Amino acid sequence: MTDKAQATWGGRFSQGPAKLMQTFSESVSFDKRLAPYDIAVNRAHTAMLHSIDLLTKAELDSIHTGLDTIEKRLKEGAVEWDEALEDVHMNIEQALTKIAPAAAKMHTARSRNDQVATDVRLFFKDACSHLSSLLTKVIDSLLSVADANKGIHIPGYTHLQRAQPVSVAHHLLAYVEMFYRDIGRFEKVGQDANWCPLGSGAIAGTTLPIDREFTARELGFVDAEGHPQVTRNSMDSVSDRDLFLDFAHACASCGVHISRLSEDMIIWNSSEFGYVELPDAFCTGSSLMPQKKNPDSLELLRGKSGRLVGNGQALYTMVKGLPLTYNRDLQEDKVQVFDSFDQLSICLEVLAGTIEGAAFKPDNCAKAVSDVALLATDLADFLVINGVAFRDAHHAVGGLVAAAEKLGVPLNEVPDEEAAAVHPGISGEWRSVFELNRAMIAREGIGMPGPNRIKSELAAWRKRLSL
């Protein structure tokens, strides 16, 4: 058994927790990273207590000076965390009380339940803006590579079968769309985090005359006009974990996008495709096969997305079925959130590095995209322009494909006579539809891969993101 006096809540206990229980229930090993936020919350809360005369100016000053000292120690890595004190909140409070005895008043009108809810909201605000800026960097890399390779075309695929020609830029811009939606998700989580729960207490607020808006303002929980934003229901405030779920979802969604891009690049990098060469700096070799250069960064990115999805799953499972309000289960929520944040942060940096170093191979791409079958649909469109109903046109071109196969020639080399026999509309300038440049120039509509459209899309993205 441990010393009961060690626990800040020890008053009603006849003995302290078993050593095993202490080790089991501590969270300081992972929530210590909330320390900078906890210190900020302590500063704001005590300033508010002073504003309502529950702390004297001298008490406030000594607490704030003490918090400065702890903050300095923290930066120097000199804080000794004690698992017997459970979590970051009690560790900081106890360390502070040793240098500023007035800190014994610091926990007035609050609970660790609203305290941790406030700390993590500050964390989410920072985390979301950090991830948004890393995502912007990834988009920047995608735009640069798209721009540098905008003249290169490859087959686009459906069912992983060659479908229609697209430019490398158009393909990469599809991912820009996805990552931009991820930025939107993180921005939304950041906005939702911007409401201050402090003052909700353990569950039902406090009888003391606190000023919640004061604290909210001090901590930057304000709207665009600087008005304080405080949460409205004390029970929801201490038990709500929507931000955790939404954050984990945003990370998982981004992870899935990273994974799909990785998979595309892995396929393009295989000898069978050979569209792209990856940078040595983000590949590794084989311990046995000397010739190997493996796309490990992309494989790890693909693999880690599973972890991001799993973290979301773990959080949903944890929260589901919990009665209101706070339950200790919720202490575990930080594990997944920190893991998703750390993993996604490094994933985004590795992704940007890998993309920046990717070199497309124009000859191999040109060879693959020269397959005229990719433009079979363009021939159907040619017939439509000449008054043939699309269904009939589709059928006619299908017939031409069969004829070409039978003759053992590419689609555009079926002799005129055979072509006209398939459908009289396949005549005149019909072979010109198989010219790649013409086919691309014909696709300048909104959302399409035409060269001018791509140029204006690249410019629009740079403008939108101030890049």
Q: Could you tell me which of 129, 110, 115, 96 has the C-alpha nearest to residue 34?
A: 115
How far is it, in rounded angstroms, from Cα 341 to Cα 347?
Answer: 10
Catalytic residue among 159, 271, 287, 466: 159
Estimate the crossing angle of helix 242-269 against helix 168-193, to 10 degrees.
Answer: 170
Q: 359-360 and 161-167 as β-strands: parallel, antiparallel, unpaired?
A: unpaired
For ligand ARG, which residue of 43, 45, 50, 112 counts as binding (CB under 6 A)? Answer: 112
Confirm or reject binding of residue 331 to ligand ARG (CB under 6 A): yes
- Closest CB to ligand ARG among residues 38, 378: 38
Catalytic residue among 129, 286, 432, 456: 286
- Annotated active-site residue 423? The verdict is no
- Annotated active-site residue 286? The verdict is yes
What minimum distance in Å lies between the beta carbon of 90 and ligand ARG?
A: 8
Sign of CA dihedral 357, 363, 366, 368: negative
Q: Could you tell me which of 9, 13, 14 has the C-alpha nearest to residue 86?
A: 9
Stated as kind and residue range, the H or E segment containing 172 is helix 168-193
- Closest CB to ligand ARG among residues 25, 65: 25
| # residues near ligand ARG by CB under 6 A | 10
Is the bond preceding 325 in cis, omega lying within 30 degrees of 0? yes
| The one segment of 139-147, 259-267, 275-283, 326-334 that binds ligand ARG by CB under 6 A | 326-334
| The one segment of 280-288, 322-330, 390-398, 418-426 that binds ligand ARG by CB under 6 A | 322-330
Confirm or reject binding of residue 116 to ligand ARG (CB under 6 A): yes
What minimum distance in Å lies between the beta carbon of 11 and ligand ARG?
A: 15
How far is it, in rounded angstroms, from Cα 448 to Cα 300?
Answer: 32
- Closest CB to ligand ARG among residues 57, 328: 328
Report DSSP letters for 33-98, one per residue. GGHHHHHHHHHHHHHHHHHTTSS-HHHHHHHHHHHHHHHHHHHHT-----GGG-SHHHHHHHHHHH
What minimum distance in Å lies between the beta carbon of 115 and ligand ARG?
A: 7
| The one segment of 111-119, 226-234, 301-309, 343-351 that binds ligand ARG by CB under 6 A | 111-119
Confirm or reject binding of residue 27 to ligand ARG (CB under 6 A): yes
What residues numbered 70-99 form the site for ligand ARG, per CB under 6 A?
87
Confirm or reject binding of residue 119 to ligand ARG (CB under 6 A): no
| The one segment of 108-116, 274-282, 403-411, 427-435 that binds ligand ARG by CB under 6 A | 108-116
Report DSSP letters for 399-439, one per residue. HHHHHHHHHTS-GGGS-HHHHHHH-TTS-TTGGGGG-HHHH
Q: 153-158 and 276-277 as β-strands: parallel, antiparallel, unpaired?
A: unpaired
For ligand ARG, which residue of 39, 55, 254, 330 counts as binding (CB under 6 A)? Answer: 330
Name the 3-class secondary structure at 117. Answer: helix
Provide the phi-psi class of 414: left if phi over 0, else alpha when psi is between -120 and 50, else beta: beta
What minimum distance in Å lies between the beta carbon of 350 and ligand ARG?
A: 30
Residues catalogued as catalytic: 159, 286
Contact footprint for ligand ARG (CB under 6 A): 27, 31, 87, 112-113, 116, 326, 328, 330-331
